[in-house]
Amino acid sequence: MLIHNIGILAGIQPEGQLRLEGTEQGCTGILENAWLSITDGRITGFGPMATCPCHSDHSEESLLDARGGMLMPGFCDSHTHVVYAGSRDGEFLDKINGLSYEEIAARGGGILNSSDLLHRTSEEELYRESMPRVEEMLGKGTVALEIKSGYGLNPEDELKMLRVIRRIGQSVPAAVKSTFLGAHAVGRGYTHEDYVRAVMEMMPEAAQLADFVDVFCDEGFFTVEDTAHILEAARGLLRPKIHANELAVSGGVQVGVQYGALSVDHLERTGEAEIQALQGSATMPTMLPGSSFFLGLPYGKAREFLDAGLGIALASDYNPGSSPSGDMRFVMALGCIRMRLTPVEAFNAVTLNGAYAMGLSREYGSITVGKRAGLILTDPGWDLTKIAYQYQTPFIRRVFL
Ligand code: NIG
Ligand code: FE
């Protein structure tokens, strides 16, 4: 396929650029008035219209006139909990009435509520309930996503979730990475210690299905010591991606970096020590402004991270309790509006750095010859600033998967 008359080709990166940090995150390659070719699902070339090979031997079906629209890499959403059963809209009223995330959880709502619902839901039904959410995300421009377990909270139901995630990955044309989040909350019927041990024991089987391991390392959930034990059990099997510093300064960032985590996520509550721990590491700090928005939590200090020379990714955290939306364009807009990222910084956070945070940046996240053609073509008139600024107006003409 050859796409021509592209108004703006955005997100061009050289081969081998796997993430962007510090001031680099504020830059991206742009070509105006361009063409791009795709063969067997991969980008095979691009350039200015003056060099367009469009008049050679292209049939009508394989030639697409972009009519001046912007072509950009699709969104790479590195943190979601999109496989869940039922809904938690009942807790929405509690939240409106002023109860905090922790208070709702303490009253039997929260993660354990989702876990009870999931326990009563068959594997087939769980797949059928989750797929429309994934399809909605793809329609909104997500081309690669990570999905976590963590509502099973016993060996049988955790593995059920991981199988559903695998099946979703086999059913959609997007890239799907899977994370074992057995340590999301203490499962019903276990003591805290027994459950940590059970999660460690689940590891070898989970590793057959998952790509990564996650622990909710935060106040009221799992301690730094629990996290270290679980990551020890995962050593050589699954690389960590850690939930850290959402509810408190938890020490989760440091333990994540210590165990070579690919990402540490949330980071609503961080200081200088967390920034220092991340410097020089391969760990991508990942912020989830959709959950700050929904829960009324502080936003991550994205500017301070960038000013310290770090890169950041942004992800949706799509889940029924803290972020019931997988709209990455809105995430990008929140990055600009509430975290004072420039549109290009936010764009890189939801594309290349998001891809890095799930080990996919050799394949996704930028316009680079050889990468998968997971792309968004916009209607005419859009650019990277406008999609974040005019954040509710439909902008997508077509998503390439
Ligand atoms: O990333 N913080 C922990 N886990 C999810 C919320 C899960 C839930 O409430 O169902 C999160 O926000
Ligand atoms: Fe999460």
Atom of ligand 1 minimally distant from the CA of 181: 4
Other CB atoms within 10 A of residue 272 CB: 9
Query: Read out DSSP for 230-260?
Result: HHHHHTTT-EEEEEESSSS--SHHHHHHHTT
Does ligand 1 lie within 6 Å of residue 268's CB atom?
A: no
- Ligand 1: atom nearest CA of 216 is 3
3-state class of 283 per DSSP?
coil
- Residues 6+ positions from 362 with CB-CB distance below 8 Å: 18, 371
The whole-number pLDDT of residue 76 equals: 99
Work out the number of other CB atoms within 10 angstroms of the CB of residue 151: 30
Six token digits for residue 259: 């165990």
- pLDDT category, 107, cuts 50, 70, 90? confident
- Residue 186: closest CA among 173, 198, 204, 169: 198
Q: Which domains does the chain have, with CATH numbers?
A: 2-73+366-400 (2.30.40.10), 76-356 (3.20.20.140)
The average pLDDT across 114-118 equals 97
Please determine, for residue 60, whether its predicted confidence score (pLDDT) is greater than 90: no
- Ligand 1 touching residue 359 (CB < 6 A): no
What pLDDT was estimated at residue 57? Answer: 66
pTM exceeds 0.95, yes or no: yes
| CB 321 near ligand 1, within 6 Å | yes
Q: Output the CA torsion 20→22→23→24 (10° steps).
A: -10
